[in-house]
Amino acid sequence: MAVTDQSETQVVIIGGGPSGLLLSQLLHTRGIDSIVLERKTKDYVLGRIRAGVLERGLVDLMHEAGVADRMQSEGLVHDGTLISYGDKMFRISFGELTGHSVLVYGQTEVTRDLYAARETADGKIVFEVEDVTIQGADTDAPFVTYRTDDAEHRVDCAFIAGCDGFHGVSRQTIPSEVRREYEKVYPFGWLGVLSRTPPVNHELIYANSERGFALCSMRNEQLSRYYIQCDITDRPEDWSDDAFWAELKRRIPADQADKLVTGPTIEKSIAPLRSFVTEPMRWGRLFLCGDAAHIVPPTGAKGLNTAASDVHYLYNGLRQFYENDDPAGLDAYSQKALARVWKAERFSWWFSSLMHRYPDQTTFDHKMQVAELEFLRSSRSAQQAMAENYVGLPY
């Protein structure tokens, strides 16, 4: 098919989720032009239910991007979290241990705010693109082609940001002989529900029980998000609302179960868990961000936050290049991003290993989990290490 439209920009961003939109908005604040290409519709992107715990670094980036007003007024500041095992429960105080907090604000709302900002600025976002192809990423003249409505388009650019997720085209564009991939697949999933009910507690509860992991979280004071560990072969329709609530109550401390308000679920889904990293995160003028380069299990809510740290490094590298004619930040991008990614991977792997029941877990393994939880409960230094990772390591 012949190219029917040809245009030019400084940065092509593939993927219209929160990381691609945040990068586009940050670049806009510095006068750097970009085009965002998204495979789905805007409504589809906004319909995806994701985590809602924002590290301090992401909160700062939202302020820098000029999109923090609603987040600051509606987000819930959390200075700590609760961890339970059996009927025991203790608190990790983020504020006391680190001087920082996290903000509970849904990823859907982050995305909504970023769409509004890009639309106000007349930022170019093209939805429902097909057959996206990255060309010449290892040259000084890269370009991207894509198709919409049976017409083929070409965008010439200086740089390409691959923010298109695990199944996107960006990572696959890097030759297989250049890429190294590391993966761990966990032998269980998370069944998550959204319900228009008040949260059982004003802080998140991470629960290790003999029946498996559970998490009590929230989106706001009248919208709760709950998860339980489930078999990887389960389907959402296998779980009635009554069955879900009964199982959740069995996995959290009795005093919390007694306070749990149940009701019809708005959304119900099952997510597999995996740890995944690809190296390098740069090939020529193509830079990978977020799930295109790495995935973490949701324990500890690091997915969006690691994507945000990638955006931080790439945005500042592009700013340094365009404002100072200095490529040092771009040259160091992969090394800097991966150094922080692997630390987030370690934390998510550790926290997942601590809180879940594994199919092949022995009685010795369980005793080690309990000993680790007891140590975490009694050791200030262990709590500080966890709190530092939870609120977000510095960029």
Q: Is residue 291 part of a domain?
A: yes
pTM of the model: 0.95
> CB-side exposure of 301: number of CA atoms within 13 Å?
26
Q: Is residue 93 part of a domain?
A: no
Q: Is residue 172 part of a domain?
A: yes
Same domain, 121 and 266: no
Same domain, 13 and 112: yes
**Hey, what are 75's tokens?**
């987000």
Q: Count how many domains the chain has.
A: 2
pLDDT confidence of residue 86: 86
115 in catalytic set:
no
Q: Is residue 374 part of a domain?
A: yes
The pairing of beta strand 80-85 with beta strand 88-93: antiparallel
Same domain, 324 and 345: yes
pLDDT confidence of residue 48: 78
Go through 292-321 and write b for each residue having 16 or more CB atoms within 10 A of its CB, e for each that does not.
bbbbbbbbbbbbbbbbbbbbbbbbbbbbbb
Same domain, 199 and 60: no
Alpha helices in 36-194 (DSSP H): 42-47, 56-64, 69-74, 94-98, 107-120, 169-173
Rounded CA separation 224/162 (Å): 32
Same domain, 114 and 177: yes
Q: Is residue 208 part of a domain?
A: yes
Handedness of CA 216, 219, 221, 222 (dihedral sign): negative
Same domain, 177 and 201: no
User: The domain that contains 382 carries what CATH number?
Assistant: 3.30.9.10
pLDDT confidence of residue 2: 60
pLDDT confidence of residue 47: 84
Structural domain including 225 reads 186-273+358-391
Same domain, 268 and 153: no
Q: Is residue 81 part of a domain?
A: no
Same domain, 121 and 42: yes
User: The domain that contains 108 carries what CATH number?
Assistant: 3.50.50.60
pLDDT confidence of residue 16: 96
395 in catalytic set:
no
* Catalytic annotation, pick one of 105, 146, 186, 206: 206
327 in catalytic set:
no
Q: How many angstroms separate the Cα of 248 from the Cα of each of 163, 253, 261, 296, 370?
A: 35, 10, 11, 23, 20
Same domain, 200 and 284: no
Note whether 14 and 168 are within 8 A (CB). Answer: yes
Note whether 246 and 121 are within 8 A (CB). Answer: no
**Hey, what are 374's tokens?**
């007891």
Same domain, 288 and 328: yes
Q: Is residue 90 part of a domain?
A: no
Same domain, 157 and 124: yes
Q: Is residue 254 part of a domain?
A: yes
pLDDT digits (tens, 9 = 90+) for 16-30: 999 999 999 999 999
* Catalytic annotation, pick one of 78, 268, 312, 336: 78
Peptide bond into 280 cis (omega under 30): yes
pLDDT along the chain (395 residues), means of 10: 80 97 98 97 85 92 98 95 95 97 94 97 97 97 94 97 97 97 97 96 97 94 95 96 98 97 95 97 98 96 96 98 98 98 98 97 96 98 98 96
182 in catalytic set:
no
pLDDT digits (tens, 9 = 90+) for 305-314: 999 999 999 9
302 in catalytic set:
yes
* Catalytic annotation, pick one of 302, 312, 336, 356: 302
* Catalytic annotation, pick one of 227, 298, 313, 322: 298
Same domain, 32 and 107: yes
pLDDT confidence of residue 3: 61
Residue holding tokens 């199944």?
A: 167
**Hey, what are 273's tokens?**
């868990």
